[in-house]
Every structure is written in C-alpha cells, then in structure tokens.
Structure 1
Amino acid sequence: MDPLHDVLTLLGTTSQVSASMVAGGSWALRFDAPDGIKFNAVRRGTCLLRLGGRPEPLPLAAGDCFLLTRPLPYLLLSDPAAVAVPARPIFEAATDGVARTGVGDDFAAVGGAFHFGTRARALLLDGLPPVIHVPAATAEATAIGWAIAQIDTELRHQRAGAALVAEHLAAMMLIQVIRHQLAHEPQLTSGWLAGLADPVVAAALREMHRQPARPWSVAELARAASVSRSTLAARFKEVVGSGPLEYLTHWRVELAVDRLRRGEETLAGIAHAVGYGSESALSVAVKRVTGQSPRAHRRP
C-alpha cells in the first residue's frame, strides 16, 4: 500500500476550487486566515505573497504554485506601496467565474482549498512548513501547470461535471506539491512524511500500511527494509520521531477511529480488523492516543 494514499483517503480529503483571479496595475488583496489548506497557482504575470510571521515577501511568477498549510492571514500584491483591500467582497462579486481587481489583466491566478477530517493536523499538516512554494522550473510544476490549465478551462466553460473535474484536478495538485516537498526540501518535513523520503523508513512504512493487523516485530520490519534491527529502530526514531511499533499503534488507532465514525461495525470486529485481540486492548490504545474512549468517536 502507498502510505500517502492511505492517509489522504483516511483524512477524507476534499478540494474546493474558487473563482479565477485577474488583476492589473497597482493592487493588493488581504485574505483572511483560510479554513484548511489554501493553494494558489499563478497563470500569468507576477506578484508577491506576504504571509503573517514571515519577514520577507515571497515573489511569485507565472507557473509558480504555493500551498498554505497553516490558518494564517496573507496578502497577494503587485506593489508594496498599494493599500490592501479585503479579498472576500471581490471574490463574492466575481462574474463568469473570474474575480477582478486593479486596472488591466496582466496578472491571473487560480486558487482553492483542501479540507480534511479532524485528525489532519497530527497526521499531515504538522509535518509541513507553513508555506510550500513550487517554482515553475521544477519537474512537479509541469504536472501542476497542466492541472491549472484544465481547472481554468473547467471554471470558465462550466460544462457538465465541471466542479467535480476541477476538484479531482486540485487533489492531483496537492499530491504533486507534497512530492515536491519530499524531493526538494525533506529536511523541512517531519513525522511520517519525512519517512516517505527515506528509503529505509519508507520500506517499513509500506509494510505496516500493507498489513496493519499483522503482529509486526521490529526485526520483521528491518528484514523488509534490508537493514539490521538496530539500524531501523534508530533511523525510524530519528526521521519519524517515534519507534516503528509506536507508529504502528498510532496508525491502527487512526484506522479504528475511522471505522468507528462510520458506525457500521462492532468494536470487537474493528479490534480484530486493525490488529487487536480484544475490545479492551483496542479501547486502551484509542484512549491513550486520542484522549477519548471509542464510544466518543461514534457518530451520534
């Protein structure tokens, strides 16, 4: 199994593509802190991204994409001297799927957001920096650029199923951005995401995700990764921040909580499916990892 696919699926990842943006001349837009992960991709022109907590603005050019992983307010602007105006009213007044500001159309961008379940912060977002910038010159930007063009076409022409197509394309963008982060700046990533960039740790992660209910030992995982037990234990702890079996416990609990929320299985059935021999053993693990009993995770 692919751990990235597993986690994105478990989080119930959904995407929402907002209106395209066109601007010109001297302009500056102030955006509220986003709900979820915010992305923007520049179609043409240049601008600056000013994010709360960063001392210097980030220059953006055509083909660039950025992902905001924290709920921080930000500015997009063409001119540092421009007076920033709220972005929300401008996007609410969009016509034909396009929000306009300034004078002219030398700048264009497409934006949207990704939304996740309640456990997203610990599983995914804590391992990412506040902003990920994917420059146009990178390999991942080619795929992102294609997706951006298709999203823009779908939004402008509004053919049948346009919103669904745009959402799936946006999800592809998210995967490409994470791939870029793992390939180009793995030192800024922690947790299981960092493990995906490490060949030894990734081999163990794949095995645990492939058979989460198996009674794994560190020695068995080390054999799958073709290293010694001590090497795997040390590497896993250094990269992921926990031992292999501790990670396995947390992943089993995430799987159990997901099944509990669906409300379709008994606690005993869930315990067996995720690798626990009894309801009580699963209950102890769920309470230790999440701070709540299994019952609290059931949908009312």
Structure 2
Amino acid sequence: MAASSIAPEPSWSLRDRLGEVLHHLRMSGMFYCRSELSEPWGIDLPPLTGCLMFHVVTSGHCWLEINGFAPCLLQPGEFALVPHGHGHRIMSELGAPLAKLFDLDREEVSDCYELLRHGGGGTPATMVCGAVRFEHPAAQRLVRLLPSLLHVQAWNTIEEDWVRSTLSLMAAEAKHLRPGGEAVITRLSDILVIQTLRWWLAHHGSTQEGWLGALQDDRIGQAMTLIHRDPECGWNVASLAAAVAMSRSAFAAQFTQLVGESPMRYVTRWRMQLAWSWLREDKQTSIGDLAARLGYQSEAAFSRAFQRYMGVAPGAARKLQEETSA
C-alpha cells in the first residue's frame, strides 16, 4: 500500500482519546433474564466465552461467588459485572443448594429475553441478569484489561441520581412486565454495562499500563487514535511520526515500548481485528470489498495478511462464524 502524506492533526485531549474507545462500546446481547427467586435458591452459571455477564438485584439480595474472589453481597442499587465470561454462582445465602442455569425451566418472552422462576418458596428476591458481547476490537481490548469482577456499590455523585433512577425503572419494569418491557430492560441493561466501564476507567484507567496506558500518552495516544479512525489509510512509520510531530526513530521506539509491538504490526493487527468483526457483522459484503475498506489494493494481499495474523483465510473465517452463531 502506498504511503500517504498526512498533515499533523490537532492535539486531542485524553478525554477525546478515551471517548474514541467508549464510542466503540456497541454491544450485542446474547440473552437477558428476569428472575423471580425465593429462598433458599442458588444458580450455577456456566462459562460463556467472549461474553460479559451482569447482575442487578431489583429487590431482596443475593450473594455472588466467583473462584479466586471473596463472595460479595449484592443489594438493590448495585451492579455486578463478570467481564471475561467466567463461570460463577449466585445464591440467596452462602452454601445454598445450586441448580445449573440451563437445567432450569425458563419462559421465552423474545429471542433473547427470558423469565426464570426458581426457589424454595421463602423470602423473595428479583434480579435482572444477562450476557452481552462486544464485537469491535477497541472494545475487546478494553474488556481484556478489566478485572475478573466489577462490583459497583457507589456511583460518582454526578451519576448517582440518574443511575438509581435507571435501576428503579428497571425494577418497576421487572415487577410489572408491560408491553415492550423486555425492550426497556435490555436497553437499560446495556446502558448500565457501559456506565460500569466508564466508572472503571474513571477510577482505575489512569493506573493502567500497556494498551490503555499507551492510549493516554499525548503523542502515542494520538497516533493510535489516527489508526483507529482511519484504518484504510496507507500508514507507515514516517507518516504516523509526522502526524504527531516526532522523529521517525523516536516514534518507533516509544510506540513499541508503550504498546508492546511495532507501529506497523499494530496497524496490521488492528485491520485484521476489524476485518474479523466485519466478517461476522456484514455477511453481504464481499471479501474484495472488505479488502478495499481496509486500504488493500487487492483481495489477494488482504487474504494473505488475514491468514498470517488470524491463522485462517477470510472466507473460512466467515463460514466458521456462521456455523458458530447458527
């Protein structure tokens, strides 16, 4: 691919660069479930590879237990996120008998929304739980940095009122499921997942190294954002260095040190990750059109790069994804 002459971009603030990442937090819901539970009860949730699983208690309480962590008590107004799809357990009390999630009877309300009723007839509790997936590589990169469990007990002051209002609305919809209620609950759930990630970035993002730390560097972060915004551009080390007003050698060394790989390897990896997500999302677009969207002058050049980085040809990857989602 030919190199491009790029005029230096205006300096972006850290807020702009993190905003670029948050912009890509568009998710696809795997399933959402409203649960009506009564003590004693316990549910064993299996691992769900590539998914983020969340739990909101709308009345009562529950314990959440994940291997390697102390059990945590969830109360109304709190939000728990298990970002890496690890198997875990929710229960009315520690040591309660457990039933496997997919062994329980569930009422299907829509393609991805279910009602579950379970328990021994004692003190009731209600919850909204779900599993979502992020397809965009920026979002996936962010998720990989998260701890195995996020438990938000107190929101920022500026957010607390509307988050609690959102949780109250979710609780009302879960209690009296009206027409369209499942759509309201799923959208509110998605908002709370994204808000939880924003909460984590605000409290812990500045302490991160690696990819997120590099994104927060004034010049390397700008270069990464250029790559994210315009993956089809004919980037090379010289054009990226010029865009952030650095010498070629200093830029290449600092980028590699902070990101953990060379600038051009990052460019190629980013394009291949985008291609992978596009193959999943856009089944009508030809491989040649995908290659053009990523700046490759031929389908053959794109296919070689894709197979080198992903270990499978684009056409085979699309077929594999179709079989997996069937």
**Does TM, normalized by the shorter one, top 0.5?**
yes
d(CA) in 2 for partners of 1:85, 1:249: 46
The percent of aligned pairs where both chains have the same amino acid is 30
Structure 2 SS opposite 1:297: helix
The alpha-carbon distance between structure 1 residues 61 and 165, as it changes in their structure 2 partners (threshold 3 A), is: closer
- The one-letter amino acid of 2:149's match is V
Q: Does residue 310 of structure 2 align to residue 290 of structure 1?
A: yes
Structure 2 SS opposite 1:256: helix
Deviation readout 1:116-170 (Å, 9 max, x if unpaired): 5698996454332221222224456655434333333333333333222322222
Conserved in 2, the CA contact under 8 Å of 1:30 and 1:73?
no
5 Å-filtered alignment, 1:201-220, equals 201-220=220-239
Cα RMSD for the two superposed structures: 3.8
Q: Does residue 148 of structure 2 align to residue 133 of structure 1?
A: no
Deviation of 1:171 (Å): 1.8
Q: Does residue 291 of structure 2 align to residue 271 of structure 1?
A: yes
Q: Does residue 160 of structure 2 align to residue 147 of structure 1?
A: no
Deviation readout 1:28-57 (Å, 9 max, x if unpaired): 513222432210123355543211233x22
Deviation readout 1:228-259 (Å, 9 max, x if unpaired): 66665555445543333322212212333344
In structure 1, runs of 5+ residues without a counterpart are: none
Conserved in 1, the CA contact under 8 Å of 2:81 and 2:151?
yes
Name 1:51's counterpart in structure 2: 66
Name 2:86's counterpart in structure 1: 72
d(CA) in 2 for partners of 1:192, 1:57: 30
d(CA) in 2 for partners of 1:147, 1:273: 39
The alpha-carbon distance between structure 1 residues 179 and 233, as it changes in their structure 2 partners (threshold 3 A), is: farther
Deviation readout 1:165-214 (Å, 9 max, x if unpaired): 32222221221122122222237867645555555544333222221111
5 Å-filtered alignment, 1:1-300, equals 2-6=20-24, 8-9=25-26, 13-14=28-29, 16-23=31-38, 27=40, 29-35=42-48, 36-44=51-59, 46-54=61-69, 56-80=70-94, 82-86=95-99, 88=101, 92=106, 97=115, 99=117, 101=119, 103-105=122-124, 107-116=125-134, 123=141, 125-138=143-156, 143-186=162-205, 192-193=211-212, 195-196=214-215, 200-222=219-241, 224=243, 233=252, 236-261=255-280, 262-299=282-319
Deviation readout 1:92-133 (Å, 9 max, x if unpaired): 389x9574546224x543221113569899645433222122
d(CA) in 2 for partners of 1:196, 1:215: 21
d(CA) in 1 for partners of 2:142, 2:130: 18
In structure 2, runs of 5+ residues without a counterpart are: 1-18, 109-113
| Larger relative contact order, structure 1 or 2 (CA cutoff 8 Å, min sep 6) | 2
The alpha-carbon distance between structure 1 residues 171 and 115, as it changes in their structure 2 partners (threshold 3 A), is: same
The alpha-carbon distance between structure 1 residues 225 and 179, as it changes in their structure 2 partners (threshold 3 A), is: farther
Conserved in 2, the CA contact under 8 Å of 1:128 and 1:190?
no
Structure 2 SS opposite 1:53: coil
Conserved in 2, the CA contact under 8 Å of 1:135 and 1:141?
no
- How many aligned residue pairs are there? 292
Report which stretch shifted further, 119-128 or 287-296: 119-128
d(CA) in 2 for partners of 1:145, 1:239: 38
Q: Please, what TM-score do these two structures have when normalized by structure 1?
A: 0.76
- The one-letter amino acid of 1:270's match is L
